[in-house]
Amino acid sequence: MTENIYAGLTQLGGSTVQPKSPEEAVLERVPNPNPGAAYCVRFTAPEFTSLCPITGQPDFAHLVIDYVPGDWLVESKSLKLLLTSFRNHGAFHEACTVGIGKRLADELSPVWLRIGGYWYPRGGIPIDVFFQTGEPPKGVWIPSQDVPTYRGRG
């Protein structure tokens, strides 16, 4: 019964062209099958990479996205393609993380959304960026992301 909500999708299950930039990537969504339920969905994406806008060198991050759906769920393959589309895109850590969070919030109109960007160290110092669209809604359970702290060596 829940399957037909995927009827309008164009990327899932077909052969896919990798989008070359975030602008080219198309985020797809399906109706929330449990619109009355208070629940949170988490995606963990340890395979994120983008480019430094100054030097062109690759940057890497471990991203964790939590959201409380409103009318829509994000289709997970299109989310993956959106993340992949940053592969050749230059952006600073803060702007990149917050930007992904804002785009998801804009296109999904969730009740609430949070993104944690845990970037690999540069100059011996990693940067983490923690963005959310506002205070978490009451009555919804949103566990800690609990990504281990960076520890250097030893």
Bridge partner list, 65:
43, 115
Please tell me the distance from the alpha carbon of residue 61 to that of residue 26, in angstroms, as a whole number. Answer: 21
Helices 76-84 and 93-108 cross at an angle (nearest 10°) of 150
Question: Residues 46, 70, 121, 134: which binds Ca ion (CB under 5 A)?
Answer: 46
Please tell me the distance from the alpha carbon of residue 76 to that of residue 82, in angstroms, as a whole number. Answer: 10
103 binds, among Ca ion, its own copies, none (CB under 5 to 8 A by kind): none
Determine if 62 is a binding residue for its own copies (CB under 8 A).
Answer: yes
Bridge partner list, 119:
61
CB of residue 143 to Ca ion, shortest distance in Å:
10
Question: Residues 31, 103, 107, 126: which binds its own copies (CB under 8 A)?
Answer: 126
**Active site includes 106?**
no
CB of residue 49 to its own copies, shortest distance in Å:
6
Buried/exposed code over 16-51 (b: 16+ C-beta within 10 A; e: otherwise) = eeebeebeebebbbbebeeeeeeebeebebeebebb
CB of residue 110 to its own copies, shortest distance in Å:
13
CB of residue 87 to its own copies, shortest distance in Å:
6
**8 A C-beta contact, residue 61 and residue 93:** yes
**Active site includes 66?**
no
Q: Is 93 marked as a binding-site residue?
A: yes
Q: Is 76 marked as a binding-site residue?
A: yes
Question: Residues 62, 63, 113, 115: which binds Ca ion (CB under 5 A)?
Answer: 62
Determine if 22 is a binding residue for its own copies (CB under 8 A).
Answer: no
**8 A C-beta contact, residue 119 and residue 93:** yes
Q: Is 26 marked as a binding-site residue?
A: no
Question: Residues 3, 23, 135, 146: which binds Ca ion (CB under 5 A)?
Answer: 146
Annotated binding site for substrate: 74-76, 93-94
